[in-house]
C-alpha cells in the first residue's frame, strides 16, 4: 500500500465532445466522449437499443498524475462533472449535501451509462483522486469539495445539478 500523500496534477487532457444518446425503444441514456473533429450524430442499433443523438457538448477529459510518486489515475470512465444542487433526503447525494452543509460543494462524476445496468461507474480510485485533487487546488480553507460517483444518485436522469459542459456551442453543426 502506498504511503505517498499524493500531489495530483491533470495529465492527458483531451479536448472533444461529450455526446449524449437516448434509446427511443426503452428510454435508456448513454454518453461517450468523442475526439472526432465533428461530433457524431448518427442513429444506430446496438443489441436491443436504438440509439439516437440527443445532445453534444464541447468538453474535455483528463487523467490525474501524482507529482510525487508518478502514480496515474485513468479517468477515461468519467464523462463529465456535475455540481449537485440536490437536497432530496430520499437520495444519497441529497442526504450527503444536507449533512455536509453549505461550505461543501458536491460534484457528481458522471459515467457513460446512467442506468448502471452493467454495474460499472467511475472508479472508487478515480473519485478519491478527484476529491483530493480539487481540494488541493482550493485556496479558500473555509470550504471543501467532495466528488461522488453518479451511481450514488437515486436516479441520475432526474438528479438536479449543473453539468460542466459548453452547452450550445455545437448547435450550428
Residue holding cell 461529450? 18
Which is nearer to another protein, 2 or 140 (by Cβ)?
A: 140
For residue 8, the minimal CB distance to another protein (Å) is: 13
For residue 113, the minimal CB distance to another protein (Å) is: 22
How many chain residues interact with another protein (CB under 8 A)? 27
Name the strands in the sheet holding 104-110, side by side, starting at the edge strand that comes first in the sequence.
Answer: 144-149, 104-110, 80-84, 161-163
From 37, 70, 61, 71, select the one nearest 109 (Cα to Cα): 61
The overall longest dimension of the chain from CA atoms, in Å, is 50
Stretch 94-123 residues interacting with another protein (CB under 8 A) = 102, 105, 107
Interface with another protein includes 163 (CB under 8 A)?
yes
CA–CA separation, 136 and 138 (whole Å): 6
For residue 67, the minimal CB distance to another protein (Å) is: 16
For residue 157, the minimal CB distance to another protein (Å) is: 19
Residue in 13, 36, 42, 70 binding another protein, rule: CB under 8 A: 13
Residue in 143, 155, 157, 158 binding another protein, rule: CB under 8 A: 143
Residue holding cell 440536490? 86
Cell numbers for 167, please give them: 452547452
CA–CA separation, 102 and 172 (whole Å): 38
CA–CA separation, 172 and 77 (whole Å): 28
Binding mask 31-70 for another protein (x = CB under 8 A): ---------------------------xxx-x--------
CB 81 within 8 A of CB 164: yes
| Residue numbers at the binding site for another protein (CB under 8 A) | 10, 13, 15, 58-60, 62, 81-83, 102, 105, 107, 134, 137-140, 143, 145, 162-167, 169
Amino acid at each position: 500500500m502506498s504511503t505517498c500523500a499524493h500531489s495530483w496534477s491533470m495529465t492527458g487532457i483531451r479536448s472533444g465532445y461529450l455526446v449524449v444518446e437516448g434509446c427511443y425503444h426503452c428510454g435508456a441514456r448513454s454518453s461517450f466522449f468523442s475526439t472526432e473533429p465533428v461530433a457524431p450524430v448518427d442513429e444506430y442499433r446496438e443489441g436491443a437499443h436504438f440509439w439516437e443523438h440527443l445532445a453534444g457538448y464541447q468538453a474535455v477529459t483528463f487523467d490525474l498524475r501524482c507529482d510525487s510518486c508518478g502514480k496515474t489515475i485513468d479517468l477515461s470512465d468519467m464523462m463529465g462533472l456535475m455540481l449537485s444542487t440536490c437536497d432530496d433526503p430520499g437520495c444519497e447525494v441529497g442526504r450527503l449535501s444536507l449533512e455536509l452543509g453549505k461550505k461543501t460543494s458536491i460534484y457528481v462524476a458522471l459515467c457513460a451509462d446512467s442506468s448502471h445496468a452493467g454495474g460499472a461507474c467511475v472508479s472508487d480510485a478515480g473519485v478519491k483522486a478527484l476529491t483530493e485533487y480539487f481540494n488541493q487546488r482550493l485556496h479558500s480553507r473555509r470550504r471543501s469539495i467532495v466528488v461522488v460517483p453518479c451511481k450514488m444518485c437515486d436516479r441520475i436522469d432526474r438528479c438536479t445539478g449543473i453539468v460542466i459542459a459548453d452547452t450550445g456551442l455545437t448547435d450550428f453543426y
